Chain A
Amino acid sequence: MSEIVDLDDVTFAYGDTVAVSDVSLTVEEGEFLGLVGPNGSGKTTLLHLMLGLHEPDAGSVELFGRPVEEFDDGGRIGYVSQKATSRGGAMPVTVRECVTMGRFAHTGRGRLSTADLVSELSGGQRQRAYIARALASDADLLALDEPTVGVDAESRDAFYALLDELNDEGITVILIEHDIGVVTDRANRIACVNTKLYHHGDTESFVESDALVEAYGTTGQVVHHHH
């Protein structure tokens, strides 16, 4: 088992507002990590730090065993950003165009006609097009930022079943999801953050812990350690 992501005492602030404080965690190969926390708790920032989209103010980040700033094999990561998910309707892009953006063409798993416009797909189909794009470069790590916002329950289940399948095939998944129920059903590990890391461990220990109440019931300013 190798480490896909390794955060060591990472801190990041937007100006004076600390978004991520002293977070250390590793993601092992083959893990399905659910990243949870209240709105504005720094989940997306933490994911950005993992992927090298932000540079930490303190601490270090390794991606696939290399310092993130030196990492240059972008094809190993498939990333679906929150913004991409929300803007699918505005730009005329076909499924084929969307998928081949991930550099090499490989039609993905969905049964979609590749000539369809992404904006005319149902929410669930649209997610699959994004996943196909993320996987088109044969990624080992799939990083998804709230991919099912605005998607109906049935499509969402189908989408998560697909994620399970991919994870079973050995692809590491990091998922930001606001629905705690969904995450605890799917992920085998959970990181619960609210600026600080409140819990990091397997899903069972998270469910039994009071990390959820701690993270959601207090603000990021209050220092609590319940590890």
Chain B
Amino acid sequence: MSGESQTDGDRSRRNRDISRPDRGLRRTAELVGLGVTAVVAAAMLGFVLLYWARDLPVASDLYAAFRSFGRGMDAAFGTNVFRHPIMWQSMAVGVLVGVVAPLVGSFLVHREMALIGETLAHTAFAGVAIGILVTASTGWNGSLLLVALVVGVLGALAVQWLTERTDAYGDVPIAIMLSGSFAVGTLIVSYGDGLTGVNVQGYLFGNLAVVTPEGARLMGALSLLVVAGVALTYKQLLFITFDEQAARVAQLNVTGYNTLLVVLTAVVVVGAMQVLGVILVAAMLVVPVAAASQVARSFRETVYLAVIFGQLSVAGGFAVSIGLGLPSGGSIVVTAIAVYLATVVGSGFSVRAISSHG
């Protein structure tokens, strides 16, 4: 070590000392927030699995215990919510959406690809419509979401194909894709109207009652997929997000990672559509990330805070939705925007604090 670099070290250590208590507190709060999120998400995954296995010997006892716990919660809050497994399924989906949507959204927002989420939601809606048509005309008793997932992923690949060929994520092909797939969806829904009793409005605006046990299981599996996908490719996605051309020069498979990101987005959107609705689903990809970017001190912190803010939005939104009997999608998005406004106000103060240092 040269004398010069030691001086550098001393200097930066001193700088760190000044801000250490503040930063330490903040870091602790974030870790607690993430920890709570992880525990809640794991518990929700556990519930989904337990509900699935409720007829098996040990699971049935556990499930019975869980049901009485739910009744206890209802008694404590004076509600008629937690005793119903379907509500827990919705909450499970909500909690998982609160994790994976901001996770993927962190990259989308900073690549200025926010509109992609919106587009894929509309494509997935066409998928739901196709699913309704297929189930009605063939009597096939499959999951609408599964059809939506397939159509959504195909839509993602189409978007990727279009953008590769139109240079950059141009607005026009994306807008055509967005309204085009929605138009197809409405045509199919209208054609198949009356064939099934499926609640299309639930998919449009989000409804806690739309979530089926299958939907919750699908969301659970997709969430594990998305978290693993992002964790394994975090560094590459960050590099591409920050400077795509430099990443290309560094011989990263940019097209491959872009495709992965768009497909993960489709996966998130299909899962989130159940509680948020087609029209509002993009908000969970964007708003918590916008809030986190207001206050974050690094990209990693942006991702952490986005997940925490996403979780707060889901929890707050569910409280409003359950308490006032309002649609879940709108409640969650309005809560997310409240969190965002709070960070704008908060960062306003911290900006002032920073400038007073200098």
Chain A residues engaging chain B, CB cutoff 8 angstroms:
48, 51-53, 71-75, 77, 79-81, 83-84, 90-94, 96-98, 100-103, 111, 113-115, 117, 120, 133-134, 137, 143
Most B-side CB within 10 Å, residue of A93, A100, A102, A143 = A93
Interface residues as binary, B7-18 with A (CB distance below 8 Å gives 1, 0 otherwise):
010011001100
The one of B239, B246, B297 in contact with A117, judged by C-beta atoms closer than 8 angstroms, is B297
Q: How far is the CA of A103 from the CA of B11 in the complex (A)?
A: 26
Residues in A with CB closer than 8 Å to B250 are 74-75, 77, 79, 102-103, 137
Q: Which of B75-83, B96-104, B298-306 contacts A (4 or more CB under 8 A)?
A: B298-306
B123 within 8 Å of A (CB atoms): no
The one of B12, B235, B238, B246 in contact with A134, judged by C-beta atoms closer than 8 angstroms, is B246
Q: Are A84 and B293 in contact (CB under 8 A)?
A: no
Residues in A with CB closer than 8 Å to B243 are 80-81, 83-84, 101
The one of A74, A93, A143 in contact with B242, judged by C-beta atoms closer than 8 angstroms, is A93
Chain B residues engaging chain A, CB cutoff 8 angstroms:
8, 11-12, 15-16, 110, 235, 238-239, 241-246, 248-252, 293, 296-302, 354
Other than the given A94-B299, A98-B242, A111-B11, 6 more pairs (CB < 8 A) read: A51-B249, A74-B250, A93-B238, A96-B298, A103-B250, A111-B8
Q: How far is the CA of A52 from the CA of B16 in the complex (A)?
A: 42
Q: Are A101 and B302 in contact (CB under 8 A)?
A: no
Q: Are B252 and A74 in contact (CB under 8 A)?
A: yes
* A46 nearest CB across to chain B (Å): 14
Q: Are A93 and B299 in contact (CB under 8 A)?
A: yes
Q: Are A94 and B298 in contact (CB under 8 A)?
A: yes
Q: Are A115 and B297 in contact (CB under 8 A)?
A: yes
Q: Are B249 and A52 in contact (CB under 8 A)?
A: yes
Residues in B with CB closer than 8 Å to A84 are 242-243, 245-246
Q: Are B297 and A101 in contact (CB under 8 A)?
A: no
Q: Are B246 and A93 in contact (CB under 8 A)?
A: no
Q: 13 pairs across A/B with beta carbons < 8 Å? A: A74-B249, A79-B245, A81-B246, A83-B244, A84-B246, A91-B242, A91-B293, A94-B299, A97-B238, A102-B250, A115-B16, A120-B354, A143-B249
Q: Are A53 and B245 in contact (CB under 8 A)?
A: yes
Residues in B with CB closer than 8 Å to A75 are 250-251
The one of A77, A90, A102, A113 in contact with B12, judged by C-beta atoms closer than 8 angstroms, is A113
Q: Are A92 and B249 in contact (CB under 8 A)?
A: no
Residues in A with CB closer than 8 Å to B354 are 120
Q: How far is the CA of A73 from the CA of B249 in the complex (A)?
A: 9
Q: Are B251 and A117 in contact (CB under 8 A)?
A: no
Known contacts A74-B251, A75-B250; A90/B299 CB under 8 A = no
* B30 nearest CB across to chain A (Å): 14
Q: Are B246 and A80 in contact (CB under 8 A)?
A: yes
Q: How far is the CA of A79 from the CA of B238 in the complex (A)?
A: 16
Q: How far is the CA of A107 from the CA of B251 in the complex (A)?
A: 22
Q: How far is the CA of A96 from the CA of B12 in the complex (A)?
A: 13
Q: Are B241 and A117 in contact (CB under 8 A)?
A: no
Residues in A with CB closer than 8 Å to B248 are 52-53
Known contacts A74-B251, A74-B252, A75-B250; A117/B245 CB under 8 A = no
Q: Are B297 and A94 in contact (CB under 8 A)?
A: yes
Residues in B with CB closer than 8 Å to A114 are 12
Residues in B with CB closer than 8 Å to A143 are 249
* B168 nearest CB across to chain A (Å): 10
Q: Are A72 and B251 in contact (CB under 8 A)?
A: yes
Residues in B with CB closer than 8 Å to A80 are 243, 246
Known contacts A75-B250, A92-B296, A94-B298; A81/B110 CB under 8 A = no
Residues in B with CB closer than 8 Å to A97 are 238, 298-300
Report the nearest A residue to B247, measured CB to CB: A101
Residues in B with CB closer than 8 Å to A94 are 297-299
Residues in A with CB closer than 8 Å to B15 are 113
